[in-house]
Amino acid sequence: MAGRVSSVSSLGRSGLYDWMVQRVSAVLMLAYILFLVIVLVRTPDMQYADWQAIFALTWVKIFSLITLLALCAHAWVGMWTIATDYLTGAMLGSAATCIRFGFQSACLIVLLAYFVWGVQILWSV
Amino acid sequence: MLPPKLATPYVTARGGGLKTCKQEGCDNAVKDKRPVNLDLGTIRLPLAAYTSILHRISGVIVFIGIAILLWLFDLSLGSEDGFNTIRQTLDSFMARLVLWGILSALAYHLVAGIRHLLMDMGIADGKASGTNSARLVVVVGILLILVLGGWLWPAV
């Protein structure tokens, strides 16, 4: 199981799983962006009451939460890809593993903060 | 080492891509001990390589930009005052420029991402079609960024 070593910090600990998560989350976020664009186009002079009413809808909250989750998963896989492509021994020498670990830890903290923050915003509507 | 009479594939740095020598007598014409250049910094990359690296860079910009978008989202839904604060904040040229930058990165990332999704499905994954779709990504990306600019600066 030598392959497991390099996938220890991947999301699903399998490349195929991460590949799928990356794409499914992308399509979900695409749908959400289209939804937001439609909302903004249909209400050109958006006021607070209109905006608040949209996010008070249960289905919009669920859609937003799913998108937030998709965003975090997508960003994790994306940053993992970048970290394991560029923060490598070939690029950084013997410190690479430490730097990559620090970078990925920072990404994880940022994404957790985004998630909690996003949930809090949606919860308060 | 391969037997000398077999056509051996070699990498050329001059054309910027892989070339396989299958012609007879090729082994005599070209020595395969020529230096192989795989240094990405000196190879002229195809357009698709640039759209791909831009996809990664835009992804990192969006990753950071989400903090600002969430902050705006929080303000906009928190209270009517917050909602109006965004309007006031966006009166500043710099604020609009930052938002335009983040949304542009998102728009580009989205378009280039759709290209990758289509390629996963076997659409436009050839050499010529891949270059064409990379051109399309650049064109549609620029168009979307201009539309976003028009949305953020409607009076101009």
CB contact under 8 A, B120 and A23: yes
Query: Which pLDDT value is given to residue B17?
Result: 44
CB atoms within 10 A of CB A82: 18
Is A124 an interface residue toward B (CB < 8 Å)? Answer: yes
Query: Which pLDDT value is given to residue B10?
Result: 45
Is A96 an interface residue toward B (CB < 8 Å)? Answer: no
Asked if residue B19 has pLDDT above 80, the reply is no
Which residues are within 8 A (CB) of B64 and not within 5 positions of it... i.e. 6 or more apart? none
pLDDT-based confidence at A6, cuts 50/70/90?
Answer: low
Which ipTM did the prediction report? Answer: 0.91
- Chain B residues with CB under 8 Å of A28 CB are none
The tens digit of pLDDT for each residue in B123-153 reads 988 889 999 999 999 999 999 999 999 999 9
Check residue B21 and give left, alpha or beta (phi > 0: left; psi -120 to 50: alpha).
beta
Which of the pair, B94 or B2, is modelled with greater confidence? B94
Is A30 an interface residue toward B (CB < 8 Å)? Answer: yes
Q: DSSP letter string over A1-67?
A: -THHHHTTTSSSSSHHHHHHHHHHHHHHHHHHHHHHHHHHHH-TT--HHHHHHHHHSHHHHHHHHHH
In the numeric block, which tokens belong to residue A19? Answer: 């590949």
How far is the C-alpha of B148 from the C-alpha of B153, rounded, in Å?
A: 9
Query: Span B11-19, mean pLDDT?
Result: 45
In the numeric block, which tokens belong to residue A74? Answer: 């997508």
Which of the pair, A50 or B36, is modelled with greater confidence? A50
- Chain B residues with CB under 8 Å of A26 CB are 113, 117
Query: Which pLDDT value is given to residue B41?
Result: 77
Whole-prediction pTM: 0.82
- Chain A residues with CB under 8 Å of B70 CB are 114, 117-118, 121
CB atoms within 10 A of CB B48: 20
Contacts 24+ apart (CB under 8 A), A44-48: A47/B83, A48/B76, A48/B79, A48/B80, A48/B83, A48/B84
Interface-testing mutation among B53, B77, B79, B121, with chain A (most A C-beta atoms within 10 A): B77
